Chains A and B, each alone.
Chain A
Amino acid sequence: MRRFLDRYWYAYAMVLPVVVVIAVLVLYPLAQGVFFTFTNINEGNIANPVLDRPASYDVVGFKNYLNILSGGESYGAFWDTLVRTLIWTFACVFLHYVVGLGLALLLNRQVRGRSFYRVLLILPWAVPAFISAFAWKYMFNAQYGIINQALRAFGLPDPVWLGQNNWALVSVIIVNVWLGVPFMMVALLGGLQSIPGDLYEAAEMDGATPWQRFRHVTLPGLRSVSSTVILLGIIWTFNMFPVIYLVAGPNPNARILVTYAFERFFSGASRDYAIASTYGVLILSVLLVFATIYRRALRKQGEVW
């Protein structure tokens, strides 16, 4: 034990603050949250120190999981919502990546005013999400929003963007793409700059076309950045709650798993902590399965991660 401490104490002293904060404020609440999923806890039966009321919730076993996984509408139509969450996640991350890569390729060239463009293009990242949400909600307004004004002016159809139909999902995807492209663009731009220029010269010497250079030099050079940012992007987008919640509100057509958890958590008098926590655990399970498969796939391709 003594030797163990002698050897590692520097390392442990340096990680200690993080471990303490994470353990106290993440692991303990997480454990309690998992316990909640086996109870019927809500605003009505939780211990209330202000009213001096003791807790009166019961342990109900797997009832919450059964209710949710049977997919009933009163428990958020789990399977439909899961499918919508997957559509939302893949649409967003795909567009983030493609648009981000496109812009990064443009910014990586010698172009006049490059740093000016870069500042403007990163700007959406710097604005707090609730302000962007407000801005887009205002612009998407069916009657007096600027988007529909413009569409009408060009004689195009003006959909009710945030109404009770699938345009709501399209709208929130547009907002989230706008919000998430800067992060991808900056990460990929850094990745592009780390690819040695000799590789391009060599490829050119060998007569590679621009497409071949992109396909066989640029994309492989970006692989390790891409695998990290795509994994992070998928996890973040899967759990992206402010955009949908603030832009579309509790609209079932734009509902994903995490926003439904919030609806249950915040809605009115009967704040249902048990169902909200159960959704949290289910989200965690889906993402864990995904991350495991993702790592396997990368490792099979020889990536050490």
Chain B
Amino acid sequence: MTLDASSLQVVQAQDRRLRRAHRSTGASVALHATLIVASIISVFPIFWVFVTSLKPDARAVEPTPKLVNESSLDNYTRILAGEKGDFLAWFGNSVLIALMTTVLGVFISATAGYAASRFRFPGKRGLMMSFLLVQMFPFAVLIVPLYNILIALGLNGTSIGLVLVYCTTAVPFCTYMLKGYFDTVPADIDEAGRVDGLSPFGVFWRLILPLAKPGLAVTSFYAFLTAWGEVAFASAFLSAADESKTLAVGLQVFVQQNRTEWGHLAAASILVAIPAIIVFYLVQRFLVQGLASGAVKG
């Protein structure tokens, strides 16, 4: 009798699970409709910049906006040909600075995050608290003292100086995330590595880092974006010569006092956004997993 009752319950549960998997048509339509509307809102501003980037400057500010209006690739060819400033040099500088920030920032965050995750040492708590504190101060108002330090270190006007400044912005968040991620990697793996004769650095480098790919992907993405689109520090610390500017700084030439060259600005924006979107596309499948474990244990 008991047997019958419990098997009946199992059947009922299976039945219910089936019903949940097959949701009603109405619910399906509502679900997809919501997601489609949200996706449109999310993509539209970028799409609209793209549409504008194909129009001549004068057509970009029409009383009735149209999708296509004397559209052509002229803005792009003019920018890439360097008529509006040394676009390719800016692009090269931005790529170099963003990549150096990513590599350096993620590397030092990873070592610090690993130490904070695996070792107990005096000052650990203070270190983690100071990272949170660093997020709370609007650092761009410290451009003057930073400028003095870069001069004292002989790094003013160099990309290395700017990379170090960007690292201070990226490192606290990256360290938190990576510490959280390393916490989810079982400590048994470290012990096994030690037993096999690896040094603590060897364990970190050969065992833990390869296992932490999702966490590294998220933090790389974050560090790259921090450096890629930044304006205030870049315009203060790089020399004023046209060929040493980054993209974000160089683009300010399109926003002049009285007249904004909307078409050109839009085209240049698309050119800047493309590398960021490529990086995003490469890491996006890791984002959910990497961010979550960092934040759960953070």
**Which positions in A face B, CB cutoff 8 Å?**
8, 10-12, 14-15, 17-19, 21-22, 24-26, 28-30, 32-33, 36, 41, 46, 49, 103, 106-107, 109-112, 115, 117-132, 134-136, 138-139, 141, 143-144, 146, 149, 178, 181-183, 186-187, 189-191, 193-194, 201, 204-205, 224-225, 228-229, 232, 235-236, 239, 241-242, 258, 261-262, 265, 273, 276-277, 279-280, 283-284, 287-288, 291
Cross-interface CB contact of A283 among B137, B225, B228, B269, cutoff 8 Å: B137
Query: Nearest chain B CB to A35's CB is how many angstroms away?
Result: 9
Contact present for B262 and A17 (CB under 8 Å): no
Say yes or no: A190-B289 contact (C-beta < 8 A), given A12-B121, A17-B108.
yes
B68 interface hit (Cβ, 8 Å) = no
CB-defined interface of B118-154 with A at 8 Å, one 1/0 digit per residue? 0101101001001011111111111111101101010
B207 interface hit (Cβ, 8 Å) = no
- Which B residues from 242 to 286 make CB contacts under 8 A with A? 248, 251, 262, 265-266, 269, 272-273, 276-277, 279-281, 284-285
Contact present for A288 and B119 (CB under 8 Å): no
Contact present for A28 and B145 (CB under 8 Å): yes
Q: CB-CB < 8 A to A239: which residues of B?
A: 135-138
Q: CB-CB < 8 A to A30: which residues of B?
A: 137, 142
Q: CB-CB < 8 A to A125: which residues of B?
A: 225, 280
Please, could you name 26 A-B residue pairs with CB atoms under 8 Å apart, sorted by A? A17-B112, A18-B109, A21-B167, A25-B165, A26-B168, A28-B145, A49-B151, A106-B35, A115-B285, A122-B280, A126-B225, A126-B273, A128-B272, A132-B46, A138-B262, A139-B45, A144-B62, A186-B287, A186-B291, A186-B292, A193-B288, A194-B296, A239-B137, A261-B138, A277-B141, A279-B141
B31 interface hit (Cβ, 8 Å) = yes
Q: CB-CB < 8 A to B140: which residues of A?
A: 241, 262, 265
B87 interface hit (Cβ, 8 Å) = no
Cross-interface CB contact of A22 among B43, B130, B138, cutoff 8 Å: B130
Q: Which 9 A-B pairs have the closest CB atoms?
A: A190-B292, A128-B229, A126-B280, A29-B145, A11-B119, A14-B115, A32-B145, A135-B45, A120-B39
Contact present for A123 and B62 (CB under 8 Å): no
Query: Nearest chain A CB to B9's CB is how many angstroms away?
Result: 8
B25 interface hit (Cβ, 8 Å) = no
Contact present for B146 and A235 (CB under 8 Å): no
B102 interface hit (Cβ, 8 Å) = no
